[in-house]
Structure 1
Amino acid sequence: MAWSSSSSSTSNTPPQKHEVFISFRSEDTRKTFTSHLNAALERLDIKTYLDNNNLDRGEEIPTTLVRAIEEAKLSVIVFSKNYADSKWCLDELLKILEFGRAKTLIIMPVFYDIDPSDVRNQRGTYAEAFDKHERYFQEKKKLQEWRKGLVEAANYSGWDCDVNR
């Protein structure tokens, strides 16, 4: 059953393109968990947004992604071992949290083969990622925003998916 986007016939609101925005580190989960999640949601007739399938040609990617996050009702953040390696994923996370704080987006984290406390406390591969970011990225304020964003997101109630179970 699809989530309904009920609106009156006099509404000027354009139809929603998607209901769920999925944030993920492509190399970690695109061909495994994320593709399975996307397929399951589509079988339920729930429209999803994945960055590879829904980008309009000719548009700037950041603008498109911000709009996609803003239009969604729910964002599933798939935290994987290498999620924090990507500045792109971390910036996307900050936008998701911004809309979540504004109460326009429900946030659901999935901890895919990573302990939620490693995300929250930036341990393990997340500590390694931030070591690299601190060496090569000069914007210290942005680094702090990313760190705070990971803590905030890891404090949401979500799912812990241990692939070795």
Structure 2
Amino acid sequence: MGSSSSYNSSGTIQNQVYRYDVFISFRGPDTRNSFVDHLSSHLLRKGIFVFKDDHKLRKGKSISSQLPQAIRGSRISIIVFSKDYPSSSWCLDEMATIAYCQQQSNRTVFPVFYHVDPSHVRHQNGVRI
């Protein structure tokens, strides 16, 4: 955390100040009290500053504005694809923002397939993930 950035004359990001090291996108009922809790705890023990929605959202502030800000303010995103991830409009909005940030500033994105076969996503074979 703590790197800084600016835009060059072509409008691309050269450096950026990041508030978080990692943003974790996940479907709460599927993974919050299992995989995601273990992952975020381990990262925090290693000194990696993690945004996970249940700890960092400010009460009284719109969730819809805080999540994109947290994504833009994170160096890396981890998307935990679970069975019901695509059924959440929040998750899909997060994934769209993560994809946009990755395209605009070449951010690192790590997909994690939690009890989901990656080929179901890759080949779009009609199996609900």
Instruction: Output the aligned Cα RMSD.
Output: 1.6
Poorly superposed stretches of 4+, deviation over 6 Å = none
Residue 128 of structure 2 corresponds to 125
Question: Among the aligned pairs, what percent are the same residue?
Answer: 41
The residue correspondences of 1:11-160 to structure 2 (distance < 5 A) are 16-120=18-122, 121=124, 123-126=126-129
| TM-score, length of structure 1 as denominator length | 0.65
| TM-score, length of structure 2 as denominator length | 0.82
Query: Could you say if the C-alpha distance between residues 103 and 17 of structure 1 is closer, same or farther in structure 2, counting changes exceeding 3 Å?
Result: closer
**Between Structure 1 and Structure 2, which shows a larger proportion of helix residues?**
1
Q: Higher Cα Rg: structure 1 or 2?
A: 1
Stretches of structure 1 lacking an aligned partner (at least 5 in a row): 8-14, 127-165
Whole-angstrom CA distance in 1 between matches of 2:107 and 2:113:
19
Report how far residue 104 of structure 1 moved.
5.0
Stretches of structure 2 lacking an aligned partner (at least 5 in a row): 5-16
Does the CA-based 8 Å contact 2:2-2:19 persist in structure 1?
no
Report the 3-state secondary structure (helix = DSSP H, G, I; strand = E; otherwise coil) of the residue aligned with 1:53.
Answer: helix
Output one character per residue of 1:23-68: Cα deviation in whole Å (capped at 9) or x when no partner: 0010110011100100110010100001111001222111100100
Q: Which has the higher contact order (CA 8 A, sep 6+)?
A: 2
Aligned residues: 116
